[in-house]
């Protein structure tokens, strides 16, 4: 019997499975990314068939509108309908439409032409509205989260005091008030009664859009009212959830021990208590950031703000399936990507979170 080399005995086994067992973080990331791709494909597929099965024919509606203004013979009208159906991906059976749409979307990033701004591609129409939604709702969501977590932690830390009671009761009363209702109140007070802020639009139409202090100042001024309506309600919601997470932690032994060591109350709050309740808030915040790509439809409609919400409403009114599906796909992608990033970052932020086996 041939002797076995000691180097061969010491060498780790080769292959994908042994390598993954030696690198749990890489195995966790690969598995989680695979689940992410399956979820993304499934959600995009469901969205496609859902909107394709909606009643209504956008091409026929467009042709009828053209026939009211122009004269077409029957042959010319049939040729136009066939060309539009092919261009908008509405020719063939439903499964053929699905394969054609997914091929363009995945391989070329093409969502098809937009009916509301023909022949502009739907992705270009969406990209024109996307910065406004990110600027308005993204910044508002960040401010609401920061203020809500800070005030909620203080309200839980100083429970039983007058200030904490006032903040808690206000949060309970106002956290479920719709954004648009608060927006209406703010418009009445600051735009019509006091006249200090503009009630509609995203910037002053007399200013040419561009990277200038005048234009940036106009955007901030016009976005103040819709942003305030979102920040106010969002802050109250985060206050309640943070206070709910903070109060059960206050009786833990490690906080009593930290206080017995003579640490200051502010240090105990920020370094011990808050660290154990902000992780669930980080998870919820990441998911909420994904949802900002939907846009707050009613707020944007109220202020005539050119974001994704306004674009989505216009597309629905004209049965622009490509634009509707494009906005929905961006929302799906952003939410699932936010969840994926959180799943990858939480094991690094909190050692108590174990890698998925």
Angle formed by the axes of helices 213-222 and 224-246, to 10°? 60
Tens digit of each residue's pLDDT (9 = 90 or more) over 107-163 = 878 888 887 777 788 888 888 888 888 877 778 888 888 888 888 888 877 777 787
Q: Is 4 exposed, middle or buried (0-12, 13-18, 19+ CB in 10 A)?
A: exposed
* CATH class of the domain whose range is 130-319: mainly alpha
* Burial class of 2 by CB neighbour count within 10 A (0 to 12, 13 to 18, 19+): exposed
Per-residue pLDDT band at 297 (split at 50, 70, 90): confident
Buried b (16+ CB within 10 A) or exposed e, 55-75: eeebbeebbeeeeeeeeeeee
> How far is it, in rounded angstroms, from Cα 219 to Cα 229?
16
Residue spans per domain, the chain:
130-319
pLDDT tens, residue by residue, 64-98: 665 665 545 555 566 777 777 777 777 777 888 88
| Contact status, residue 136 vs residue 223, Cβ threshold 8 Å | yes
Return d(Cα 138, Cα 133) in angstroms, integer. 7
pTM metric for this prediction: 0.75
For 24, residues 6+ apart whose C-beta sits below 8 A from its C-beta are 355
């Amino acid at each position: 019997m041939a002797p076995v080399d000691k180097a061969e005995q010491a060498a780790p086994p080769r292959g994908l499975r042994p390598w993954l067992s030696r690198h749990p973080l890489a195995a966790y990331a690969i598995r989680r990314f695979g689940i992410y791709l399956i979820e993304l494909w499934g959600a995009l597929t469901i969205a496609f068939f859902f909107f394709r099965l909606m009643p209504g024919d956008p091409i026929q509606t467009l042709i009828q509108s053209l026939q009211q203004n122009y004269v077409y013979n029957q042959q010319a009208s049939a040729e136009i309908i066939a060309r539009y159906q092919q261009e908008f991906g509405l020719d063939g059976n439903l499964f053929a439409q699905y394969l054609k749409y997914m091929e363009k979307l995945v391989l070329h990033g093409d969502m098809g032409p937009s009916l509301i701004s023909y022949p502009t591609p739907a992705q270009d129409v969406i990209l024109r509205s996307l910065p406004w939604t990110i600027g308005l709702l993204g910044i508002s969501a960040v401010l609401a989260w920061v203020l809500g977590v800070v005030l909620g932690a203080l309200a839980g830390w100083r429970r039983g005091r007058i200030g904490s009671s006032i903040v808690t009761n206000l949060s309970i009363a106002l956290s479920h008030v719709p954004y648009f209702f608060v927006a209406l109140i703010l418009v009445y007070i600051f735009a019509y009664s006091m006249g200090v802020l503009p009630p509609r639009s995203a910037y002053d139409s007399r200013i040419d859009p561009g990277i200038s202090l005048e234009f940036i100042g106009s955007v901030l001024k016009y976005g103040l009212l819709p942003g305030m309506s979102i920040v106010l309600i969002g802050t109250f919601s985060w206050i309640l959830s943070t206070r709910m997470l903070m109060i059960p932690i206050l009786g833990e032994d490690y906080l009593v021990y930290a206080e017995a060591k003579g640490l200051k109350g502010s240090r105990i709050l920020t370094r011990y208590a808050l660290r154990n309740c902000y992780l669930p808030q980080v998870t919820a915040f990441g998911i909420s950031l994904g949802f900002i790509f939907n846009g707050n439809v009613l707020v944007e409609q109220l202020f005539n703000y050119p974001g994704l919400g306004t674009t989505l409403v216009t597309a629905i009114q004209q049965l622009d399936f490509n634009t509707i599906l494009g906005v929905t796909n961006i929302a799906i992608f952003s939410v699932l990507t936010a969840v994926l990033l959180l799943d990858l970052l939480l094991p690094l932020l909190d050692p108590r979170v174990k890698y998925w086996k």
